[in-house]
């Protein structure tokens, strides 16, 4: 099929075309990559803008349950919702959202929802680029809200926050009074912390945890992109569908403020620059893993190990060879 036809069908909201387009951007084949670049240029022209919502949380906090309840709530308000995932570890473990479809039973049957699991790649750089392009494809296809889920595995939060307008951190109620070992860097990325499972016996613990995090957020350096009182911590119950409307209200308030004050567009511009730099890095690194450089490097590595050539000299040789390609 012609790429321009595929682009038209995606923009017309054709689900099968969207799925096919995502498969194309996920492909590692070089001829597919060239087509994917053309496709991304074509769909970029439609100028649609969705709200991109990043969602992170360790396994078991209730991400899938939250996405089901929150997604269904938005669909009832007449919105179209897409769900994507960045999960570099998911390839074989089955930890991806596809395996979670039972927890998203209603959402996965909705005609106004589109759910796509993480591409089965083990390398975060590749997963990141493909997900980012999938986000743009869903946006062009007319989805109003794009949820990008990730499990908390270090780097993946950065990747998701760099493709989101808002970043949500989902937490479970803590047993003790300690903050649940959430790294400072991740706290600093969050726009909204949602303490889930605020229901039944867990409700008091959820409220305590929420208060702890609200306190911790106040100690974090103020960011220019936040109005008063943000970032915030709130409690929700994904199962009982409580607090979701309030959380959505806060998200809209924050987004409206950022739009009015120029931070929304500024952030997207910075993200475009970030991904430009990342794609260059990723492309350069993948050159090193391809022939002829791959053999050259392993040959030189042995010589370096035997002391036959200095590391600096060997590296300079590789870089000279790289420039020659
Ligand atoms: N009590 C309670 N349990 C919940 C809630 N949300 C999720 N769970 C439970 O927590 C477990 C993990 O949920 P899941 O959505 O699969 O978490 P994920 O690994 O983050 O996707 C399941 O047993 C859910 O039923 C909630 O709001 N309240
Ligand atoms: Mg899940």
Does residue 15 belong to any structural domain of this protein?
yes
Say yes or no: 1 and 116 in one domain.
Answer: no
Say yes or no: 85 and 126 in one domain.
Answer: yes
Beta partners for residue 82, in sequence order: 114, 146
Cis amide prior to 231 (ω within 30 degrees): yes
Does residue 267 belong to any structural domain of this protein?
no
The closest-lying atom of ligand 1 relative to the alpha carbon of residue 170 is 20
Say yes or no: 35 and 54 in one domain.
Answer: no
Say yes or no: 210 and 67 in one domain.
Answer: yes
Which two three-digit tokens encode residue 232? Answer: 């915030």
Say yes or no: 211 and 234 in one domain.
Answer: yes
Say yes or no: 57 and 41 in one domain.
Answer: no
pLDDT (mean) for 64-80: 97
How many domains does the chain divide into?
A: 3
Say yes or no: 227 and 317 in one domain.
Answer: no
Say yes or no: 202 and 295 in one domain.
Answer: no
64 lines ligand 1 (CB under 6 A): yes
**CA separation for the pair 216, 186 (Å, rounded):** 12
3-state secondary structure of 81: strand
Q: Which bound ligand lies closest to the C-alpha atom of 194?
A: 1
As a dihedral over the C-alpha atoms of residue 43, residue 45, residue 49, residue 55, rounded to 10 degrees, the angle is 40
Q: Select from 78, 150, 71, 158 the least CA-distant residue to 115.
A: 71
199 lines ligand 1 (CB under 6 A): yes
56 lines ligand 1 (CB under 6 A): no
**CA separation for the pair 73, 89 (Å, rounded):** 30
238 lines ligand 1 (CB under 6 A): yes
Say yes or no: 17 and 105 in one domain.
Answer: no
Of the two residues 27 and 80, the one the predictor is more confident about is 80
Does residue 281 belong to any structural domain of this protein?
no
How does pLDDT run across 245-279, given as a tens digit for each residue? Answer: 999 999 999 999 999 999 999 999 999 999 999 88
The closest-lying atom of ligand 1 relative to the alpha carbon of residue 196 is 27
**What's the pLDDT at 128?**
83
Say yes or no: 57 and 199 in one domain.
Answer: yes
Does residue 273 belong to any structural domain of this protein?
no
60 lines ligand 1 (CB under 6 A): yes
Say yes or no: 173 and 231 in one domain.
Answer: yes
Does residue 280 belong to any structural domain of this protein?
no
pLDDT (mean) for 234-245: 97
Q: Using CA positions, which residue lies closest to atom 26 of ligand 1?
A: 197
The closest-lying atom of ligand 1 relative to the alpha carbon of residue 151 is 20
Say yes or no: 81 and 110 in one domain.
Answer: yes
pLDDT of residue 123 exceeding 80, the answer is no
What's the CATH number where 84 sits? Answer: 3.40.50.300
**What's the pLDDT at 86?**
82
Interior/surface letters 138-164, b for 16+ CB within 10 angstroms, e for the rest? bbbbbbbbbbbbbbbbeebbebbbbbb
**CA separation for the pair 269, 186 (Å, rounded):** 22
Prediction pTM value: 0.89
Does residue 274 belong to any structural domain of this protein?
no
- Residue 71: CB atoms within 10 Å: 24
239 lines ligand 1 (CB under 6 A): yes
Does residue 139 belong to any structural domain of this protein?
yes
**51-65, 122-136, 221-235: segment of lowest average pLDDT:** 122-136
Q: Which bound ligand lies closest to the C-alpha atom of 95?
A: 2
**What's the pLDDT at 129?**
82
Domain range enclosing 162:
48-262
Confidence of residue 315 (pLDDT cuts 50, 70, 90): very high
Sole residue written with tokens 């769900």: 83
Confidence of residue 182 (pLDDT cuts 50, 70, 90): confident
Percent of the chain's residues with pLDDT above 70: 91
**What's the pLDDT at 89?**
63
**CA separation for the pair 70, 103 (Å, rounded):** 12
Q: At what angle do helices 124-140 and 263-288 cross, to 10 degrees?
A: 140
Does residue 282 belong to any structural domain of this protein?
no
Interior/surface letters 249-286, b for 16+ CB within 10 angstroms, e for the rest? ebbeebbebbeeeebbeebeeebeeebeebeeebeeee
């Amino acid at each position: 099929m012609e790429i321009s036809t595929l682009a038209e069908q995606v923009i017309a909201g054709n689900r099968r075309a969207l799925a096919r387009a995502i498969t194309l951007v996920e492909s590692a084949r070089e001829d597919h990559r060239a087509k994917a670049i053309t496709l991304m240029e074509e769909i970029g022209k439609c100028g649609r803008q969705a709200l991109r919502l990043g969602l992170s949380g360790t396994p078991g906090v209730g991400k899938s349950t939250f996405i089901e309840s929150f997604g269904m709530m938005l669909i009832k308000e007449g919105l179209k919702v897409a769900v994507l995932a960045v999960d570099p570890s998911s390839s074989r473990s089955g930890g991806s959202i596809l395996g979670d479809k039972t927890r998203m039973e209603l959402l996965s049957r909705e005609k106004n929802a589109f759910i796509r699991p993480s591409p089965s790649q083990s390398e975060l750089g590749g997963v990141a680029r493909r997900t980012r392009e999938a986000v743009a494809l869903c946006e062009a296809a007319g989805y109003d809200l794009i949820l990008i889920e990730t499990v908390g595995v270090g780097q993946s939060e950065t990747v998701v926050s760099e493709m989101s307008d808002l970043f949500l951190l989902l937490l479970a109620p803590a047993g003790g009074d300690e903050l649940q070992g959430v790294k400072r860097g991740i706290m600093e990325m969050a726009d909204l912390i949602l303490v889930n499972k605020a229901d039944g016996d867990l409700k008091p613990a959820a409220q305590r945890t929420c208060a702890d995090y609200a306190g911790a957020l106040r100690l974090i350096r103020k960011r220019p992109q936040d109005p008063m009182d943000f970032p915030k911590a709130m409690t929700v119950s994904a199962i009982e569908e409580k607090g979701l409307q309030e959380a959505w209200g806060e998200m809209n308030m924050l987004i409206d403020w950022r739009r009015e004050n120029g931070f929304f567009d500024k952030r997207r511009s910075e993200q475009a620059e970030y991904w430009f730099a990342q794609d260059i890095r990723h492309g350069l690194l993948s050159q090193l893993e391809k022939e002829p450089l791959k053999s050259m490097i392993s040959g030189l590595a042995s010589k370096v190990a035997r002391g036959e050539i200095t590391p600096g000299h060997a590296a300079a040789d590789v870089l000279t060879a790289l420039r020659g390609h």
